[in-house]
Structure 1
């Protein structure tokens, strides 16, 4: 049941981000809570350390991105005004319980490439010029979770069962 609601929330993010380039702030919160509950069933105490490592990686990456953009523009540049949405930030933080660090890094980089490819492919159908990063990354996550559930190949997420 938790997993079904988690997948529904991720699909809702895809829809909202595609339509309006915004996601409701409650969605990442619900995704985080559901992810914690789902993973805690199988990994119990280690879910907090898994989450902390992933948040640290994302935080270092985000601070590095802001520092680089600010240095390049010779002054502090607010990333939320030009390059990154608050929903994107909240999305990447909300999914931290779902991956071991190595897999989170692979997913993070892969979702960026996936989003770029999807943006280029769907460019003519899109009303907005910006990339719906949280939406495209959510779509990829839904596909990966379903793959992990139904195929007996290398698992990228920590989800073990329905």
Structure 2
């Protein structure tokens, strides 16, 4: 399964590069991330557990997106997609949901958002574009997790 992780890491860094450079990412990279992470999760556990984890993770992501949607509508009076959160970011949230067991996913998801905020604060004066390459920064975070997984036993990422 190391080759799936390598393809996944390359895909993550492609998303990082495209999102940081142009704020445009090829849409088909997101389903590739979803499929690869799901197959890696199946390899580490089994299909039923992986499917259950993914459904719980998707529910978590949809709750987060719903709260953001209503907050943007009520507080900012703006459209949700492209004004508040890019469609690529939404796709990334959805497809990264297939990656880990639910507890691990929630922890990594929250820390990837904090990591993205930190990177944005560090680089905001250097960037001409004032938008945040959120999918790119989160790809860097998750890509690093998968790189580290080459050197450690990662069963705890896929089990409860």
The TM-score, its normalising length taken from structure 2, stands at 0.88
| Alignment partner, residue 72 of structure 2 | 69
Distance 1:132 1:70 in 2: 22
Number of aligned residues: 156
Shift of the alpha carbon at 1:155? 7.0
| Alignment partner, residue 119 of structure 2 | 118
| Alignment partner, residue 41 of structure 1 | 43
Deviant stretches of 4+, over 6 Å: none
Distance 1:24 1:141 in 2: 18
| Alignment partner, residue 56 of structure 1 | 59
Shift of the alpha carbon at 1:130? 0.5
Q: Return 5+ residue gaps in structure 2 as ranges.
A: none
Q: 1:157 to 1:93 in 2, by over 3 A?
A: farther
| Alignment partner, residue 158 of structure 1 | 158
Q: How does 1:124-139 map to 2 (within 5 A)?
A: 124-139=125-140
Distance 1:27 1:156 in 2: 27
Distance 1:19 1:13 in 2: 10
Deviations 1:88-127 (A, max 9, x none): 1111111112122122221222111111111111123222
